Amino acid sequence: MTRTAALLLALLASLAALPAFAGPYGLSVAILILYFAYAGQAWNVMMGFAGQLSLGHALYVGVAGYVAGGLFFHYEVPPIVGLPAAVIACTLFGLVIGFLAFRFRISGVYFALLTIAFAEFTRIGFDHLAWTGGPGGMFLKVAQRNTWDLANFRGPPAMYYYAILAMCSLAFVACFFLLRSKAGFYWQAIRENEDAAQALGINVFRWKMAAVAASSAMTSFAGVFFAFYYNNLFPEQIFNISRSIEIILAPVIGGVGTLFGPILGAVVLTGLSEGITESLAALGWEIPGVKQVFYGLVLLGVVMFLPNGIWPFLSRKFKL
Amino acid sequence: MTALLRVEGISKSFRGLKAVSNGSFELSRGTINALIGPNGAGKTTIFNMIAGVFAPDSGALFFKDRPIHGLRPDEICSAGIGRTFQIVKPFAGLTVLENVMVGAFLREKTAAGSRATSLRIIEKLRLKAEQPASTLTLPDRKRLEVARALATRPELLLLDEVMAGLRPTETDEMVEVFRELNRSEGTTILLIEHVMRAVMALAGHVGVLHHGEVIARGTPQEIVRDPKVLECYLGEETEV
Ligand SMILES: Nc1ncnc2c1ncn2[C@@H]1O[C@H](COP(=O)(O)OP(=O)(O)OP(=O)(O)O)[C@@H](O)[C@H]1O
Ligand SMILES: [Mg+2]
């Protein structure tokens, strides 16, 4: 445990120093890695901890992005105010889905289908909303690129990097304590065996709702980050099911239900795939789809040889 | 003295098959009681109705004079009734300690408190705290069922064949655990058991269930001499 803590501190220190020597491209890859680590951590609360498979987490990214982005675009409400609004909106969405599913005892694959359906309905809905700009998208004004303006979330790439690094660190610490609290124990009990959990006095409905609320609230931060980092939002893209799948890949590869899984998975997937694409480009080979093939191969390898993910294997091997 | 649990004429059918019909009995506070009967007699079904897994088709259940039929299993557990599952349901991905802590969190607010309570119970049942539940032998899984239920600090403990598969010395150890629990905490116990060695050693009162009906009740000594009981067990294997 102390060894793990020391490793973590070393990692955090080197990550904090990274912008000093990484170029713009390196920084953008690092931001992408941390983004997926964060979103994966948020998804992991629902699936990894509580065992509720969501295949529609793009819903929360999109709703949060549009709420904070829209408030900024239309009324110049700064994201520091838009963020709480986005958190509330996403939590409400999560609670509605959870209520419908858990009240009517929809679980497993059917629950996953319900989450997809909601993301799809929302995509279609947003396509027809004038307020969001419809299928034509919403574009946020890009300004003030050189100074840090945290309230408006406008600044140089390093600011976005440190913001997502802080989000990742906080999410990690929050999940660390959640797992060791009553909530973590109750969620894992529900994941392992609902009947036994209920027989030990756990109100399964309430605690599942809590898991969905926590996960959707956490994911909304990723959505707001996404909106102000990329500055453009299209329902067709942000709510797309491939976005939801993208979010779950890192924790699945790294280890569902583990604290390090989402981080490790994001490093392996995004880091290596960007690295391979870059190296090939440097050699003068531009192969379209190489990233997707790489994702497929990693996924295949993990499923075949490390069905619990990379982290459980590493932690056993190195006694972390 | 008023009864801790009152069961009044409960019945339950599964698609036309009468699993329990018109079952009635009372458990006094601080007593150890056994429910015996051949396979399929309806014993587990009675437990499931008490524990809130399903409501009786008819009849009523009172715990401390409060009606409990129709409550959910978690509400029943919070009210003070703990149960084990005949077909064990460990949290396989967790360790023994974590399994028991889930139960302890019902009455303990902090993780430290839950941990301390759980470690005491684990020691009493001779389990290993850090062992993954998935690697436990069947007798240890039964012990884990007991440990988890105990961690919720029940006033009434329902034990569904927790001695099945134990060696005679292990059975005696388990019997001692329940005796001690009953003596020190005053916990009322209702156990379903095929192992007559345990029933004779533990229970002050025994009810016999056959085809969903209570056909006899009395002390263990009276029960084993009852011709009706002997008849329903004829051809059944019993360990006396
Ligand atoms: N959930 C259920 N659905 C359908 N039938 C059931 C269900 N539970 C029990 N039964 C049936 O009800 C009858 C009584 O079963 P029960 O499990 O209560 O018996 P038991 O006395 O506990 O037997 P054993 O000693 O084998 O555990 C059996 O015929 C059983 O098949
Ligand atoms: Mg049974």
Supply the pLDDT for residue B240: 45
Cα→Cα distances B232→A132, B198, B239, Å: 74, 20, 15
**Cα B37 from Cα B211, distance rounded (Å):** 9
Domain contains B146: no
CATH number reported for the structural domain that contains residue B158 in this entry: 3.40.50.300
Q: Whose CA is nearest to atom 16 of ligand 1?
A: B42
Most ligand 1 atoms within 8 A of CB, residue of B36, B39, B43 to mutate: B43
Which is the closest atom of ligand 1 to the Cα of B47? 18
Domain contains B44: yes
Q: Which domain holds residue A34?
A: 3-317
The torsion angles phi and psi of B20, rounded to 5 degrees, stand at: -140, 130
Supply the pLDDT for residue B34: 96
Domain contains B70: yes
Which B residues 8-67 touch A at CB under 8 Å? 51, 53
pTM, whole model, 2 decimals?
A: 0.94
ipTM value: 0.94
Asked whether the beta carbons of residue B102 and residue A197 sit closer than 8 angstroms, the reply is: yes
> Does ligand 1 come within 6 angstroms of the Cβ of B41?
yes
Asked whether the beta carbons of residue A200 and residue B152 sit closer than 8 angstroms, the reply is: yes
Q: How many domains does chain B contain in total?
A: 1
Asked if A76 and A183 touch (Cβ cutoff 8 Å), the reply is no
Judging contacts by C-beta atoms under 8 Å, the chain A residues touching residue B85 are 195-196, 199
């929050």: which residue's tokens?
A174
Residue of chain B nearest A204, judged by CA positions: B74
pLDDT tens digits, chain B, 240 residues: what are they?
579 999 999 999 999 899 999 999 999 999 999 999 999 999 999 999 999 999 999 999 999 999 999 999 999 999 999 999 999 999 999 999 999 999 999 999 999 999 999 999 999 999 999 999 999 999 999 999 999 999 999 999 999 999 988 899 999 999 999 999 999 999 999 999 988 888 988 999 999 999 999 999 999 999 888 888 888 776 555 544
Our CA-based measurement puts residue B143 at a distance from the nearest CA of chain A, in whole angstroms, of: 15
Asked if A27 and A161 touch (Cβ cutoff 8 Å), the reply is yes
Domain contains B240: no
SS3 B160: strand
Paired tokens of B213:
């009906």
**Cα B32 from Cα B178, distance rounded (Å):** 9
Closest C-alpha among B209, B181, B179 to residue B193: B209
pLDDT tens digits, chain A, 320 residues: what are they?
688 788 888 989 999 989 988 888 999 999 999 999 999 999 999 999 999 999 999 999 999 999 999 999 999 999 999 999 999 999 999 999 999 999 999 989 999 999 999 999 999 999 998 888 888 889 988 776 788 888 888 889 999 999 999 999 999 999 999 999 999 999 999 999 999 999 999 999 999 999 999 999 999 999 999 999 999 999 999 999 999 999 999 999 999 999 999 999 999 988 888 888 888 888 877 777 777 888 888 888 888 888 889 999 988 888 76
Residue B189: exposure state from Cβ atoms within 10 A (0-12, 13-18, ≥19):
buried
Task: Report the residue from A193, A195, A200 with minimal CB separation from B103.
Answer: A200
- CB of B114 less than 8 A from some CB of A: yes
Q: How many domains does chain A contain in total?
A: 1
> Does ligand 1 come within 6 angstroms of the Cβ of B12?
no
Closest C-alpha among A21, A34, A23, A301 to residue A167: A34
Paired tokens of B211:
């085809």
Task: Report the residue from B73, B83, B105 with minimal CB separation from A186.
Answer: B105
**Cα B215 from Cα B116, distance rounded (Å):** 44
Of the residues A192, A200, A316, A319, the best mutation for testing chain B's interface (the one with the most B CB atoms within 10 Å of its CB) is: A200
Which A residues 141-180 touch B at CB under 8 Å? 180
**Cα B31 from Cα B187, distance rounded (Å):** 8
3-state helix, strand, coil in chain A (%, to 5): 75, 0, 20
Our CA-based measurement puts residue B225 at a distance from the nearest CA of chain A, in whole angstroms, of: 36
3-state helix, strand, coil in chain B (%, to 5): 40, 30, 35
Which residues make beta-bridge pairs with B91? none
Which is the closest atom of ligand 1 to the Cα of B209? 21
**Cα A94 from Cα A63, distance rounded (Å):** 11
Asked whether the beta carbons of residue B83 and residue A199 sit closer than 8 angstroms, the reply is: yes
Q: Tell me which DSSP letter residue B86 carries.
A: S
**Cα A24 from Cα A180, distance rounded (Å):** 38
**Cα A42 from Cα A167, distance rounded (Å):** 11
Instruction: Tell me how crowded residue A20 is: count the other CB atoms within 10 A of its CB.
Output: 7
Q: Which domain holds residue B208?
A: 3-87+154-234
Q: Whose CA is nearest to atom 24 of ligand 1?
A: B39
Asked whether the beta carbons of residue A201 and residue B148 sit closer than 8 angstroms, the reply is: no
Domain contains B174: yes
- CB of A193 less than 8 A from some CB of B: yes
Task: Report the residue from B85, B111, B149 with minimal CB separation from A181.
Answer: B111
**Cα A56 from Cα A182, distance rounded (Å):** 27
**Å from CA of A61 to ligand 2 middle:** 48
Residue A180 identity (one-letter amino acid): R
Handedness of CA B129, B135, B137, B142 (dihedral sign): positive
The DSSP string of A252-300 is HHH-TT-SSHHHHHHIIIIIHHHHHHHHHHHTT---TTHHHHHHHHHHH
